Amino acid sequence: MNICVIGTGYVGLVTGVVFADMGNDVVCVDKLAAKIDGLNQGIMPIYEPGLEEMVARNVADGRLEFTTDLDSAVQKAEIVFIAVGTPPREDGSTNLSYVEDAAKGVARALNRYKVIVNKSTVPVGTGDFVREVIETNKRRAVDFDVVSNPEFLREGSAITDTLVPDRIVIGAPSKIVAMRLLELYAPLERPMIVTDVASAEMIKYASNAFLATKISFANAIANICEEAGADVTQVVKGMGLDKRIGTAFLNAGIGYGGSCFPKDTRSLLHTAQSYGCEFPLLAATIQTNEEQPKRFIAKIHEALGGDDLKGKTVGILGLAFKANTDDMREAKSLDVIADLLAAGATVKAYDPIAMENTKSVFPHITYGANAYEVATGADALIIVTEWNEFKNLNFERVSALMARPLILDGRNLYDPERLRRLGFEYHSVGRASTAPTAKHAVHSLREEPVLV
């Protein structure tokens, strides 16, 4: 099939390359010439495991092209995907101006019947809006249909998620229109649900809101555990093994971030209110998520001795909003670093992939080449992102390098008892803090075998 994908961000680029890899002829369009120039030179605008190789292979085989020329890309295509950003407005509603621009571009280029697919996350009713924009702006008397095909990929595993999605949701005005998408996705051999456009749009928001609620629920439980002397990691394990609950998205931490959950929860709340529906459960999910980093930051201050952190050096491990991505949108590291700088601390940071993106926000903090450089001379080490390479640090080395062996772990990566034995003061989320006893002070590292 001839396919056009408008928007070459996390969703558009990954979707485009996977369709090409399935044998389709795909043209990816973006309005940012620098992005397209880079892609034409094999430079990826985002970090995503496996992406670069897959793009190179499909470009070399002639199935994948990148352009800023929307007209020709749309004209060649039978199916046009809109995968542009849908950022939040101040009031929580969704800014649909990029979707509108893309739809106007499609309308201008429309030369024969096409299926226009909304892959961007858009509020219920946007399918009708896109139809209206195209109808009003089209220059030729040709027909078209608008379909909703929301995307569920996760950054960090986007290629796999696109190749092996749990389900493919197709919201179409008729079975015949849905067939076009069913045919396109058939080679993936994944479960597909065909429904109407509005229901498909709602499936996306309802899913993200539910997952965000699981995270906030785990965080609320963590806060009780912390006071009551329970261990939230054991509690969520015990809950998650119940098949009706499941372990996914049930970890306590410093709250969800990223480009989707924060904006999609606020957008759904806004949609609910616009229909006169109360949704206090979702409001509480959002509020819990806003409180969570504040609680963690308070813990940092308490451990370091107060509001004024002048003269203290703090190391940050992990900047991206989650592991395996370079995406900094709504990353909790931004809140933590901003607070530390405001309190007068010196901040050193390390992330395997996201440092370049962070430099545009915090150009003046120090960036280390690895975790050990950041630990050197630090009065505290703060774990913000759960990168694999932080899970098995050489703590003997870390302790020897730090000015004070203090770790605040926003992701519950370590066993508190082990860290205590290794001579650290250790604070995590939803578990009792531990401090080394005199007998277990730093030098005990060399005497005691460590049971992991």
Closest CB to ligand NAD among 152 and 372? 152
Collapse the DSSP code of 248 into the 3-class scheme (helix H, G, I; strand E, B; otherwise coil) and give the result.
coil
Nearest to 190, CA basis, from 59, 22, 24: 22
Question: Rule CB under 6 A: is residue 216 a binding residue for ligand NAD?
Answer: no
Question: Rule CB under 6 A: is residue 129 a binding residue for ligand NAD?
Answer: no
Question: Rule CB under 6 A: is residue 7 a binding residue for ligand NAD?
Answer: yes
Question: Rule CB under 6 A: is residue 151 a binding residue for ligand NAD?
Answer: yes
**Degrees to nearest 5, angle at CA 86 with 278 and 24:** 125
- Residue in 4, 10, 222, 335 binding ligand NAD, rule: CB under 6 A: 10
Question: Rule CB under 6 A: is residue 418 a binding residue for ligand NAD?
Answer: no
Closest CB to ligand NAD among 326 and 415? 326
CB atoms within 10 A of CB 125: 15
Question: Rule CB under 6 A: is residue 77 a binding residue for ligand NAD?
Answer: no
In the complex, least distance from residue 31 CB atom to ligand NAD, rounded to whole angstroms: 4
In the complex, least distance from residue 115 CB atom to ligand NAD, rounded to whole angstroms: 18
Question: Rule CB under 6 A: is residue 155 a binding residue for ligand NAD?
Answer: yes
Which alpha helices (DSSP H) does 229-352 contain, by range? 232-240, 261-274, 280-304, 332-342
Dihedral of CA atoms 403, 406, 410, 412 in degrees, nearest 10, equals: 130
**Cα 153 to Cα 134: distance, rounded to the nearest angstrom:** 27
* Binding range to ligand NAD, per CB under 6 A, among 81-89, 294-302, 381-389, 436-444: 81-89
Question: Rule CB under 6 A: is residue 35 a binding residue for ligand NAD?
Answer: yes
Question: Rule CB under 6 A: is residue 159 a binding residue for ligand NAD?
Answer: no
Closest CB to ligand NAD among 82 and 314? 82
Annotated active-site residue 260? The verdict is yes
Please give the radius of gyration of the chain, using alpha carbons only, rounded to the nearest integer.
Answer: 24
- Residue in 80, 102, 218, 445 binding ligand NAD, rule: CB under 6 A: 102
Question: Rule CB under 6 A: is residue 88 a binding residue for ligand NAD?
Answer: no
Distances in Å between the alpha carbon of 233 and those of 61, 236, 256, 450? 48, 5, 17, 21
Question: Rule CB under 6 A: is residue 156 a binding residue for ligand NAD?
Answer: no
**Cα 29 to Cα 86: distance, rounded to the nearest angstrom:** 17
* CB-based burial, 8-24: b 16+ in 10 Å, e otherwise: bbbbbbbbbbbbbbbeb
- Residue in 52, 71, 78, 101 binding ligand NAD, rule: CB under 6 A: 101
Of the residues 28, 225, 260, 277, only one is catalytic, namely 260
* Binding range to ligand NAD, per CB under 6 A, among 149-157, 217-225, 345-353, 400-408: 149-157
Question: Rule CB under 6 A: is residue 11 a binding residue for ligand NAD?
Answer: yes
Distances in Å between the alpha carbon of 37 and those of 51, 95, 264, 336, 362? 17, 27, 31, 35, 27
- Count of CA atoms in the C-beta half-sphere (13 A) of 109: 21
Q: Where are the beta strands (DSSP E) in 162-278?
A: 168-171, 192-195
At 217, which helix (H) or strand (E)? helix 197-228
Question: Rule CB under 6 A: is residue 352 a binding residue for ligand NAD?
Answer: no
Closest CB to ligand NAD among 108 and 418? 108
For 376-418, what is the HEC assignment?
CCCCEEEECCCCHHHCCCCHHHHHHHCCCCEEEECCCCCCHHH
- Residue in 3, 4, 5, 8 binding ligand NAD, rule: CB under 6 A: 8
Q: List the interface residues with ligand NAD, window 359-398 (CB under 6 A).
A: none
* Binding range to ligand NAD, per CB under 6 A, among 97-105, 273-281, 404-412, 433-441: 97-105
Closest CB to ligand NAD among 24 and 67? 67
- Residue in 85, 253, 255, 423 binding ligand NAD, rule: CB under 6 A: 85
* Binding range to ligand NAD, per CB under 6 A, among 95-103, 225-233, 272-280, 391-399: 95-103
**Cα 383 to Cα 376: distance, rounded to the nearest angstrom:** 15
Distances in Å between the alpha carbon of 40 and those of 17, 35, 59, 221, 308? 13, 9, 9, 49, 49
At 115, which helix (H) or strand (E)? strand 114-118
* Binding range to ligand NAD, per CB under 6 A, among 99-107, 220-228, 383-391, 440-448: 99-107
Binding site for ligand NAD (CB under 6 A): 6-12, 29-32, 35, 83-86, 98, 101-102, 105, 120-121, 151, 153, 155, 259-260
Residue numbers annotated as active site? 260
